[in-house]
Structure 1
Amino acid sequence: MKLKSILACGLLAGLVSCSEKPTDEVSNDSTAEVTSGMQGLLLESAPEGAVTINELRSSAKLGDAVAFKGKLIGGDPVLIENRAIMTLGDPAKLTSCDLMGEDDHCQTPWDVCCDDNDAIKQNIVTVQAVDASGSPLKEGFRGLGGIQELSTVTVLGTVAEGSNAENMIINSTAIFVEKDSQ
């Protein structure tokens, strides 16, 4: 009987220790939290009522909740490494180099270098995912749901502080990535 009690206590202690990390192995690294937070942004279907970036820029004001669709086009880079920041452009108003048909025309296929600077300013937005303090998360959007240059995405979010006529910034709350959009 004593052996059974010792084995039962040992088994119970083993189960408890397997389910908990020893305190010296607990990490203060928030990468796991950021990753799960970033994954939580993804939508399984496109939200209804999304406007173009051109429409967004002409009507949205600071603090407005918005839904819009755009393509990862603009300058280089359109995806910031190690920060949840990306640039989206309105493909109906801007022409990315991948659509120009000239092999050596641009440095990157997602560049919009041949468009007028004023047109670029009016048809580009910066999208970011932020933490509780309003700082961009320290993980890039690249790969999230398949996001890469030239991806088409629909974003739900809020027009952020710091937005102005030159640059509209959106704090994203949800993102839908179109499959096979490249």
Structure 2
Amino acid sequence: MTAHTPPPPAPQSSVLRTGGSRLIVATVGLTCAIALVTVMLQAPPGRAAGLAGIAVAPAVLAWVLYGHPHLRIAPDGLWIANPLRTHDVPWSAITGLDERLGLSVERTDGGPIAAWALPAAGRGIVRTTGTRARIAARTSPQIAAVHAARAASAAAPADRAGAVVESRWNVPNLVLLGLAASWFAIGLATL
């Protein structure tokens, strides 16, 4: 009787975003919540409903620009969720990674795709033994994780010919922005 060994677990995807984006969303959301409560307590009900849009719109904008964007590393490639569009980029479609201003994925079938969720880490002072201090670019841990994942699953150049990047609009974000903008305009009209 032979023992059956289960197959190794499939690699799971990891979601990356900067910690600063969460702080921005939380701060703007808390500020808008305080403004909303203040409007609801001080304005007459008919007017408060319109004015609430002025308090809600910045929170929606903060969510779309900072809370939603993320990058998911999956076994078959990257899934980049930007504010208005989402891109599914297989490893075989990636020809390079540029991190000058933030992570940008260079692809075989078109222009680069910027990942809003992973801005550049900036610059820092580097000191090595026996040399003068110099300023050099730093790599964020999130961008380093993308580099490592790409190196671990590098596709053969022959596989790159048929690689296709799938891009689609983020319809929920667009609808949310449209509703928030309309409610904001109603709020301005009630001032």
Give the TM bin, normalised by the shorter chain: under 0.3
Structure having the larger proportion of residues in strand: 2
Q: TM-score, normalised by structure 2?
A: 0.24
Q: TM-score, normalised by structure 1?
A: 0.25
